[in-house]
Amino acid sequence: MTDSRPKSPQKIDNTTTVDTSMEEVANTSSTHDLSHSEIDVTSRDSQEKDPLKSSTPCSSDVSNISVPHLPLNNVTDYIDTALICHPSIKIELKNCANLLCSEEILTFYTDGSVQNIGTTHSLSGYGWIQTQPLTPRISFKGSTVFFPSSSKSESMGILTALLVAPFNCRINIYTDSANCITTFNTRMHLGIVSPHQKLKQSNFLLWDLIFLLINQKNLLVTLHKVPGHSNNLYNDEADTLAKAGAHIREPIIINHKFFAHQSLGFASWNRLHVIDRNVRKWADNVIQPLIFNSMINNKALTPIKKQILDGEIDWTFTKEWLNHNNSDALCSINLSKQQGNKIKKCNFIYPTIDIQQRNYPHLYPLGSIPCIQCSDAHDVNAHVGLCNDHSNDVVTILMEAAYDLYDIIIDNYSGTPFALRETIESSPLFNITFSGALSQTHPGYLLIHHLVPSDLTTIFYNYIKDKKLRFSIFIKFFKTLMRKVDSYIWVKRYSLIKSWERILSITKNKK
Ligand SMILES: [Zn+2]
């Protein structure tokens, strides 16, 4: 691997770090500490020689870590330079490496653990146990931070096992992570990965390091799948280690400067960590909590606040529906009108009478104007669907939708779907046993407002495993359903309002 060596010993890192300076990353923060003052000694030594950096010798800024000269000569050098962590963790790993230094075959059971994922208290841990007969029975556990996921934790387990292995060693790794095995095998067979492909791969730094170790230490690595719940003692032990590892407050992260030979531009978050995944998807994910916050604080959405908080709305499918283009044209007046209407309905800002009164105070009568259909409530967005006059139509819509859903799943399912009829019948969405008006807590209320209830998508997730097919048949199903919602509820209401407005000589021209 001569091309991986820096061209001269003085070569500085040619990776570019773009600081995104995001202040809030609610879903990626974690409760682990990154001890700013205790980052590896090598980096500090090198910084002290650089007068420009001497003012911040204790920063954990990823751009301040020294550049190693690859390949390295011994196992402990890799531990020293490839990781950013507390020195005591490096000592622990080096001790493991020393105990294994003369072995030719090693067997590891590795596991990962993620707790409280999606919250600010997430914990990621991993652990392994070395079980090759007649070799030292040693184990290790650790934690990591940023982008928690079970596959990241699992791969950190594999990485730390490879770090302590001696050169020219044959290694068997037993893991229950099918995801890791797939990633490993794909990279193995793919050989060189293009920067474009790599930037889209999750945890690419971690996998880069795994393959760098395999190449430079000349390791022969085989991954084996441990069947889940197989009651394998070693696997259970690795699981216990991983769970305990998650609570270790000092995490291990990968020193991106270790890959100085790469010409990839990295984006970093808050100068702390490289965003080693699809940046576009990551950014989208990061703003989700912000969108969420703005939604629950949005006064117009008060009628569905509880549903938002309880996760009763499937935002992925709602987004898919709102973006759906019913026509062939990429843009048209009709399309923007259609999408505008959907957006107004789901944001509860559709021009019901209360909004018209506010916008055209000289045209509409003062005071509260009752619903034209039931006269029992004010004509506001929240009332649409809850009106007594809508309830029969709602029942019809839901009943027909239940049959349509059954048919569309049968048509797209190979074989006989298990308990499909029972699943649909017992879904709260298709519960039509209510008497009188629809209740605000019924998932059907969300439907009326063009929001996709999670109760509906659960059925799609359960029966349609293929993601593309799931979206496409969902749209097909939902289009028919929403056409009925619009014509039975919204259009019916609209035409009644129009006749009432004509009596009051409120016309479009006057607005
Ligand atoms: Zn009404």
One pLDDT digit (tens) per residue for the chain, 511 residues: 333 333 333 333 333 333 333 333 333 444 454 443 333 323 233 333 333 333 333 333 344 445 555 677 788 889 988 888 889 999 999 999 999 999 999 999 999 988 876 566 678 899 999 999 999 999 999 988 777 677 888 999 999 999 999 999 999 999 988 888 988 888 887 766 676 666 666 777 888 889 889 989 999 999 999 886 678 899 999 999 999 998 888 888 888 776 655 545 555 555 555 556 666 666 666 556 566 666 666 788 889 988 887 888 988 899 889 888 776 666 677 778 888 899 899 999 999 999 999 888 888 998 888 999 999 999 999 999 999 999 999 999 999 999 999 999 999 998 888 899 999 999 999 999 998 999 999 999 999 999 999 999 999 999 999 999 999 999 999 999 999 999 999 999 999 999 999 999 988 888 7
CA 374 / ligand 1 centre spacing (Å): 4
d(CA 498, CA 307) in angstroms, rounded, equals: 32
The token pair that represents 234 in the structure block: 């070693």
CA 88 / ligand 1 centre spacing (Å): 69
d(CA 261, CA 503) in angstroms, rounded, equals: 77
CA 509 / ligand 1 centre spacing (Å): 27
CA 368 / ligand 1 centre spacing (Å): 13
Smallest CA-to-CA distance from 451 within 463, 440, 436 is with 440
d(CA 335, CA 329) in angstroms, rounded, equals: 8
The token pair that represents 447 in the structure block: 């439907």
Q: Can you list the domains of the chain with their CATH numbers?
A: 2-281 (3.30.420.10), 298-510 (no CATH)
Sorted by sequence, the CB contacts under 8 Å of residue 123 that are 6+ apart come out as 30, 31, 32, 113, 114, 115, 116, 143, 148, 246, 247
The token pair that represents 328 in the structure block: 């062939």
Find out whether 345 and 383 touch, Cβ atoms under 8 Å: no
CA 371 / ligand 1 centre spacing (Å): 5
Diameter of the chain measured on Cα atoms: 95
DSSP codes joined into one string, 51-91: TTTTT-TT---GGGSPPP-SSPSSHHHHHHHHEES-HHHHH
CA 384 / ligand 1 centre spacing (Å): 7
CA 500 / ligand 1 centre spacing (Å): 14
CA 488 / ligand 1 centre spacing (Å): 14
CA 317 / ligand 1 centre spacing (Å): 29
